[in-house]
């Protein structure tokens, strides 16, 4: 267990460095080479040798969308909203990709990747949220909620695999409390309601109407 924890911490440290490099390499959506850059990102995803490597590339590209939204938010709210939506779509792809990873060790690496990345993304998106008008926050909130919920799912899976959560992974330190309180309430309540309904369904026993049917037949 200690060796696994050490490995996860090292992996997270390396990933944090990768996020910093990715953020520094962000270019404006208005740059002449921006579309070429996007095409190169998609090509690198498609050429990845396996699901884990592909998920790492996709997570980095999603982080670029969040950083681009932050950089352009004060001058073009609509574009910031579009980039936030693209972030959500990319992270949804990442989630589906993770579901296809079958090897236990790679699943652990994937969950650590998502848990660490989403806390970084949530920090950036919360900054975007603070820079745009109230009318533009709906799309930002969806992206931020996607990031925070993905973070919680990854932490839960990571704890199931390893029995503990590395101290370096903590979204509470990255996202302001007032943002955490206002984001994701509906989704969290929805999940709780779904779980409660599932428990209620299990408790319900099928009604045996055989006796009534027999009485009707005899009559």
Q: Which of 52, 158, 51 is nearest to 112 (CA)?
A: 158
Q: Identify whether 206 is part of a domain.
A: no
Q: Identify whether 195 is part of a domain.
A: no
pLDDT of residue 78 exceeding 80: yes
Q: Identify whether 71 is part of a domain.
A: yes
Angle, alpha carbons 105-43-33 (nearest 5°): 130
Residue 178's domain comprises 52-190
Q: How much is the pLDDT for 163?
A: 80
CB 59 within 8 A of CB 120: no
Q: How much is the pLDDT for 20?
A: 43
Q: Identify whether 66 is part of a domain.
A: yes
Average pLDDT over residues 154-160: 88
| Mean pLDDT across the chain | 77
Count of domains forming the chain: 1
Angle, alpha carbons 147-48-6 (nearest 5°): 60
Q: How much is the pLDDT for 25?
A: 63
Q: How much is the pLDDT for 172?
A: 67
pTM over 0.85: no
Q: Identify whether 202 is part of a domain.
A: no
pLDDT of residue 76 exceeding 90: yes
Give per-residue pLDDT as tens, 29-69. 888 999 999 999 999 999 999 999 999 999 999 999 999 99
Q: Identify whether 210 is part of a domain.
A: no
Angle, alpha carbons 115-116-122 (nearest 5°): 85
Q: How much is the pLDDT for 194?
A: 43
Q: Identify whether 184 is part of a domain.
A: yes
Q: Identify whether 135 is part of a domain.
A: yes
């Amino acid at each position: 267990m200690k060796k696994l924890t050490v490995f996860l911490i090292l992996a997270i440290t390396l990933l944090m460095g990768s996020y910093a490099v990715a953020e520094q390499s962000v270019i404006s959506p208005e740059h002449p080479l921006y579309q070429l850059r996007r095409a190169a990102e998609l090509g690198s995803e498609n050429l990845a040798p396996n699901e884990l490597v592909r998920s790492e590339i996709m997570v980095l590209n999603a982080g670029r969308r969040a950083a681009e939204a932050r950089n352009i938010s004060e001058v073009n709210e609509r574009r910031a909203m579009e980039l936030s939506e693209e972030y959500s779509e990319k992270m949804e792809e990442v989630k589906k990709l993770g579901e296809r990873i079958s090897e236990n060790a790679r699943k652990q690496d994937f969950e650590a990747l998502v848990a660490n990345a989403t806390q970084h993304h949530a920090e950036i998106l919360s900054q975007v949220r603070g820079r745009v008008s109230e009318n533009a926050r709906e799309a930002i909130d969806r992206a931020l909620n996607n990031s925070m919920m993905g973070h919680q799912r990854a932490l839960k899976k990571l704890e199931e695999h390893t029995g503990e959560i590395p101290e370096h992974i903590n979204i509470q330190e990255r996202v302001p409390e007032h943002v955490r309180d206002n984001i994701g309430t509906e989704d969290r309540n929805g999940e709780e309601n779904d779980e409660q309904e599932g428990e209620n369904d299990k408790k319900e026993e099928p009604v045996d109407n055989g006796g009534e049917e027999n009485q009707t037949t005899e009559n």
